[in-house]
A and B are shown apart, each in its own frame.
Chain A
């Protein structure tokens, strides 16, 4: 088990390097730099611009810039935000926390709902409830998060049941800690619903397909022939095996969720990584874009690693190969 994990982690190194190279290259493709805007400002003298160029290392050849940036990243220094005048890591850290908070809660909700629904759909194949559920999941995976987010905001606005957008209320700072938690929880309802529907829909479909596949296997027949109750056959024998592939797609699911939540964050004003990156892209805040891109990639890669470890834990065949 340990060996498996170590081997997987070593495999991550070229991947992480690739992520940084890719992020760097994309930014270099971008026309103009942050200084272009400053250069247009008549108050700023040419000397200041030149000094900033040197300070930020923008006058160095590309590979030098990259290596310098990379060594800094490894030390945990993601550079400095031109626009906010604070270290990138400082910006990204709080945003990443908010994004992860949203996504992890959405994932937990999705698994808690999606798996039982998937089991129900598979054990009642082609019943009216199965058909209804699959229709629901088709619509669920097909609805862009910015659209469902807008719809829910619209409902919240009309009914006044839930706060519209943001992560906290205006008077958040005045609340005691439990009030704060409750406030954030209320703000979480809409985004978690949006992302939850997306993830539940996918999970349900996958779980249904897996379980149907497993229920056709010989060992399920054997279990039934032994006279086990159907409940035991399904829950003890079939479901356990049908869940394994879901763990594998956990990483992909996380990627889909991070992407979906990026747009949603913009729509509902959730102060997350997606919002930050859009903001930075628009302002051409180079280091923030690069930093968020790298952090986003690393988060996803780590998500996949966790999925791998969980899979190795739950499926011994993986460990010994």
Chain B
């Protein structure tokens, strides 16, 4: 299925067993059921709920799904206002502070006095081999909020210089340490979220229309057309997806810029991902086309394409929403795996995958374990999407509704 995109996390959540389930549940597509249709002339206050309201009511009860949703909102906002959150510019590097450990925030200074505002000390490299830094305790640098720094455009619109927080030079606030070039890991994670998080959305935006139309046509026409179309899709599914990803990424020209490469990665992930999705849609459409509303549309003399687009495919919407939510994380995993191996997004761009590759060297890692932090962001995002996807599955499936 959609493990065609990522290495894991899917296939498990919607294997062929699911496909069968989807086919049987279509025995009562929510949109055509008599219960969900609003009926005129009802008493006030007893208005039947729309399917959307019912789904939302169910989703609200799924606490983990809500938690996942909240985490994702936070992460996507982080990606939007990355330049505001990041204390340093993306290409900033401090040539004197390689592998600097995460900044220690203090409240109590050397003289034993307490401060309300946390502060950091300026540090100096004492042993480059052991990467030890010494703090100059004579003077504290308080963490300031809404400081002026590098100019940028907030949300690509408002020109401003204000950053959320920062400290005065020469002190540095490396919240999650610095990497081998003296770059702030936190800054690069925040900027990296733009790439890592958007990959999933773009891949889904490409695969869903393709998968829907392809699967819709195959399922609707059935017979020889279906047979041929599905054999083609199955060939793509037949490969271990990551082998295919690796090979396809070799097709990419090596010399293109960051942005071009990013879009090419999306093309690759999508060209693998559509197949599993198309197969899922096809199974659903196969069952759906037996219904009267399709016969009615045919009897009205509507064209096949119009029937597929206007009548059949809209009925797959709940399945599509669920699968989309579960495809996004596998695309994110696919991108980060490629970038981790150096075949995806490359320096100087940052994505969570290529940030993590700094930790691939064990010696480095054992001395600077904070290089693993980008991985935690990947895991958190994927977990959040899986929570949300499962919650949506329960919410949109009428059989799972509890009262």
Contacts and interface: CB of A to CB of B under 8 A. Distances in A.
B is bound to A: yes
B4 to A, nearest CB: 9
A31 B253 contact: yes
Given A19-B235, A296-B240, A296-B243, A153 B251 contact: no
Contacts of B372: 147, 150-151, 154
Interface in B1-27: 1, 3, 6-13, 15-17
A101 B10 CA distance: 23
Contact of B3 (A22, A259, A282, A299): A259
A284 B246 CA distance: 12
* Interface hub of A143, A147, A252 (most chain B Cβ within 10 A): A147
A146 B356 contact: yes
Given A144-B7, A281-B249, A262 B232 contact: no
B210 interface: no
A292 B10 CA distance: 23
Interface residues of B, number: 55
Contact of B12 (A23, A154, A158, A206): A206
Given A210-B17, A259-B241, A278-B341, A142 B246 contact: no
B130 interface: no
A10 interface: no
A142 B379 contact: yes
A142 B243 contact: no
* Interface hub of A15, A29, A273, A296 (most chain B Cβ within 10 A): A296
Contacts of A81: none
Contacts of B250: 30, 281-282, 284, 289
Contacts, number: 190
A266 B13 contact: no
B11 A249 contact: yes
Contacts of B360: 150, 267
A22 B15 contact: no
Interface in B330-370: 333, 336-337, 340-341, 343, 356, 359-360, 362, 365-366, 369
A31 B386 CA distance: 37
Contact of A144 (B64, B244, B246, B375): B375
Given A139-B379, A263-B337, A300-B239, A252 B15 contact: yes
B101 interface: no
Interface residues of A, number: 65
A249 B12 contact: yes
B248 interface: yes
Interface string B42-79: 00000000000000000000001000000000000000
Contact of B333 (A15, A144, A266, A299): A144
Interface of A: 14-15, 18-19, 21-23, 26-27, 29-31, 138-139, 141-147, 150-151, 153-154, 157-158, 164-165, 198, 201-203, 205-206, 210, 245, 248-249, 252-253, 255-256, 258-260, 262-263, 266-267, 273-274, 277-278, 281-282, 284, 289, 292-293, 296-297, 299-301
Interface of B: 1, 3, 6-13, 15-17, 64, 231-232, 234-236, 238-244, 246-251, 253, 329, 333, 336-337, 340-341, 343, 356, 359-360, 362, 365-366, 369, 372, 375, 378-379, 382-383, 386-387
Query: Which 6 residue pairs spanning A and B have beta carbons closest together?
Result: A202-B12, A18-B235, A259-B242, A249-B15, A258-B240, A142-B382
